[in-house]
């Protein structure tokens, strides 16, 4: 007899989030961490099916916004990487390729830690006239490589899944418009389809991407209270076009440097947030459209004599549902075992069929979000349609309520310190400045509480009262900022 693996989750999400997360990733077969090189994981079919859905949503939206897909190599020249470093200070832990066979390469190259240094040298060859712009390009279903010290499946890895847009414009205004469009893409995908709530921040100047004039990020909070950045979009100004020589001739036949933006949703972090925010003590919970298996049919058989008609009825039901992703679980395992397994994997709808249902031409439907009812076979399609909407609504409501409770206010530094001890989420506070002169206060905050200034809300900042004082230095406060611990 085959060894039965332990299926269920043995800890409560509220009591031990870290262990809960590890068990869900492993037991729902999302990723296998036994690959053998630290920080490199195998995305297993069930998990990868969900990740592909995230990619599909993003591809659909950026193409709707006139982006064209391209595909660059996974490597980058040393000289281009250096150029980026000199200019933007970007200095990740780089993996170098320096040998081929037993011969040392004359010019080593790197596994790409990000896209700019490999894409922008090519952009300097592609555009000649202002009429060539705007240009909007993207690549999807690719990786970048950084030798991170601590790694955790989907949260931080040495190879992580990537998606990036790189847009080129004639004017700064077009760049700023694009930032708003990127925000809209986040709304339509991460918020509306994947159901992850977030706040969209303009990062403080000391925490922006170094090659950017400004950085903007949708951030959420995981159940352990840490802020996680779901994506970032950068107003690159003309910094990179100057560093990499990307110029076009304007209407007056003068050469001008172009304006650029880039946008990168963190595919793995979106995945980590989906697992963590929607899941419960039984395992995953997935929006209906994202589920690799949307409906599971489980026969409940009490005796040999019931066997045949019940199984036949199950097959009839399966045939009716051919427009959905359906699994008819006809395995030897007990019904209880099957319930646990498919709940763990977040299958949105479970159909239970026993002798009584078979005789009465009825079906018992159980939703992963808890509802249960008995329906007639004739109304099956209508009920599935209704249930799929109900599940999504339940997930969305629950996530929004969760997130609503993740923001508190603090009026004094003592109050802030008290709250931060036990509270998991954002704290809104008045702050002196999000430009360079506020960095001292941010550093003090970080040292004393381990929390960061996430930024100010964008595009509409919170209103601040005239007499407000910075929570750290007590000088006049210019902004309301959101403070949180972060990954
Ligand atoms: Zn201050």
Tens of pLDDT, residues 418-435: 988 888 899 999 999 999
- Rounded to the nearest integer, the mean pLDDT of the chain is 94
Confidence of residue 487 (pLDDT cuts 50, 70, 90): confident
Mean pLDDT in residue range 241-265? 97
The predicted-structure confidence for 423-482, as pLDDT tens digits, reads as follows: 889 999 999 999 999 999 999 999 999 999 999 999 999 999 999 999 999 999 999 999
Instruction: Tell me the pLDDT tens digit for each residue of 296-319.
Output: 999 998 877 778 999 999 999 999
What is the per-residue pLDDT for 3? 47
Q: In the numeric block, which tokens belong to residue 34?
A: 């036994």
Q: Ligand 1 center to residue 180 CA distance, Å?
A: 29
Pick the CATH number of 407-484 from 3.30.110.30, 3.60.20.30, 3.40.50.1370, 1.20.1540.10: 3.30.110.30
Q: How far is the CA of 314 from the centre of ligand 1 (A)?
A: 66
For ligand 1, the distance from its centroid to the CA atom of residue 447, given in whole angstroms, is: 14
Handedness of CA 333, 335, 337, 338 (dihedral sign): positive
**Ligand 1 centroid – CA 473 distance (Å):** 4
> pLDDT tens digits for 58-75?
999 999 999 999 999 999
Whether the per-residue pLDDT at 91 is higher than 70: the answer is no
Instruction: Write the Ramachandran bin of 101: left for phi over 0, alpha for psi from -120 to 50, otherwise beta.
Output: left
How many residues in the chain? 487
Give me the pLDDT at residue 16, please: 96
Residue list, CB under 5 A from ion ligand 1: 432, 441, 470, 472-473
453 CA distance to ligand 1 middle (Å): 11
Q: What is the mean pLDDT of residues 45-69?
A: 98
Residue 123 has pLDDT above 70, yes or no: yes
SS (H, E, C) the chain: CCCCCCCCCCCCCCCCHHHHHHHHHHHCCCEECCCCCCCCCEECHHHHHHHHHHHHHHHHHHHHCCCEECCCCCEEEHHHHHHHHHHHCCCCCCCEEEEECCEEEEEEEEECCCCHHHHHHHHHHHCCEHHHCCEEEEEEEEEEECCCCCCECCCECCEEEEEEEEEEECCHHHHHHHHHHHHHHHHHHHHCCCCCCCEEEECCHHHCCCCCCEEEEEEEECCCCCEEECEEEEEEECHHHHHHCCEEECCCCCEEECEEEEEEECHHHHHHHHHHHHCECCECCCCHHHCCCCEEEEECCCCHHHHHHHHHHHHHHHHHCCCCCEEECCCCCCHHHHHHHHHHCCCCEEEEECHHHHHHCEEEEEECCCCEEEEEHHHHHHHHHHHHHHHHHHHHHHHHHHHHCCEEECCCHHHHHHHHHHCCCEEEEEECCCCHHHHHHHHHHHHHHCCEEEEEECCCCCCCCCCCECCCCCCECCEEEEEECEC
Ligand 1 mean position, distance from CA 226 (Å): 23
pLDDT of residue 2: 47
Q: Is the pLDDT of residue 86 over 80?
A: no
Domain segments of the chain as ranges: 50-278, 293-387, 407-484
For 318-354, what is each residue's pLDDT tens digit? 999 999 999 999 999 999 999 999 999 999 999 999 9
Predicted local distance difference test score (pLDDT) of residue 1: 41
50-278 CATH fold: BirA Bifunctional Protein; domain 2 (3.30.930)
pLDDT of residue 4: 53
Instruction: Give the chain's radius of gyration (CA, Å).
Output: 26
Give the pLDDT of residue 90.
Answer: 63
**Would you say residue 112 has pLDDT above 80?**
yes
**Whole-number pLDDT of residue 7:** 66
pLDDT of residue 173: 98
Distance 434 CA to ligand 1 centre (A): 9
Distance in Å, CA 416 to ligand 1 centroid: 14
User: What CATH number is given for 293-387 in this structure?
Assistant: 3.40.50.800
Cα(406) to centroid(ligand 1), Å: 24
154 neighbors 47 (Cβ within 8 angstroms) = no
């Amino acid at each position: 007899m085959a060894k039965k693996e332990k299926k269920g989750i043995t800890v409560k999400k509220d009591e031990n989030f870290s262990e809960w997360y590890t068990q869900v990733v492993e037991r729902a077969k999302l990723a296998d961490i036994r690959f053998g090189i630290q920080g490199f994981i195998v995305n297993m079919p069930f998990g990868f099916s969900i990740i592909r859905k995230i990619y599909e949503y993003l591809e659909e939206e950026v193409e709707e916004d006139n982006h064209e897909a391209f595909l660059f190599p996974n490597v980058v020249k040393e000289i281009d990487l250096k150029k980026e470093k000199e200019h933007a200070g970007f200095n990740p832990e780089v993996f170098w390729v320096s040998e081929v066979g037993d011969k040392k390469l004359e010019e080593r190259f790197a596994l790409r830690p990000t896209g700019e240094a490999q894409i922008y040298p090519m952009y300097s060859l592609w555009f000649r006239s202002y009429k060539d712009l705007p240009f909007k390009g993207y690549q999807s279903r690719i990786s970048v490589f950084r030798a991170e010290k601590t790694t955790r499946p989907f949260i931080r890895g040495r190879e992580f899944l990537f998606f990036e847009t790189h847009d080129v414009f004639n004017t700064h205004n077009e760049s700023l418009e694009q930032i708003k469009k990127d925000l809209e893409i986040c709304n339509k995908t991460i918020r509306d389809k994947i159901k992850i709530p977030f706040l969209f921040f303009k990062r403080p100047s000391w925490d922006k991407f170094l090659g950017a004039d400004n950085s903007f990020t949708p951030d959420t909070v995981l159940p352990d209270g840490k802020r996680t950045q779901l994506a970032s979009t950068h107003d690159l100004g003309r910094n990179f076009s100057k560093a990499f020589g990307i110029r076009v001739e304007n209407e007056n036949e003068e050469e001008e440097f172009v304006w650029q933006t880039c946008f990168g949703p963190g595919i793995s972090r979106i995945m980590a947030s989906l697992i963590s925010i929607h899941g419960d003590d039984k395992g995953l919970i997935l929006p209906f459209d994202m589920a690799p298996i949307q409906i599971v049919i489980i026969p409940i058989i009490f005796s040999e004599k019931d066997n045949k008609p019940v199984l036949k009825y199950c097959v009839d039901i399966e045939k009716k549902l051919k427009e959905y992703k359906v699994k008819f679980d006809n395995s030897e395992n007990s019904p209880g075992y099957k319930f646990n397994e498919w709940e763990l994997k977040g299958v949105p709808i479970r159909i239970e069929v026993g002798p009584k249902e078979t005789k009465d031409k009825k079906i018992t439907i159980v939703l992963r979000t808890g509802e249960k009812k008995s329906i007639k076979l004739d109304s099956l399609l209508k009920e599935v349609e209704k249930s799929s909407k109900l599940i999504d609504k339940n997930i969305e409501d629950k996530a929004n309520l969760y997130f609503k409770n993740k923001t508190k206010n603090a009026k004094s530094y003592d109050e802030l310190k008290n709250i931060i001890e036990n509270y998991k989420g954002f704290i809104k506070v008045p702050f002196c400045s999000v430009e360079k002169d506020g960095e001292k206060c941010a550093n003090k905050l970080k040292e004393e509480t381990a929390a960061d200034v996430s930024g100010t809300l964008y595009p509409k900042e919170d209103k601040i009262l005239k007499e407000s004082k910075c929570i750290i230095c007590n000088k006049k406060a210019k902004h309301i900022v959101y403070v949180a611990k972060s990954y």
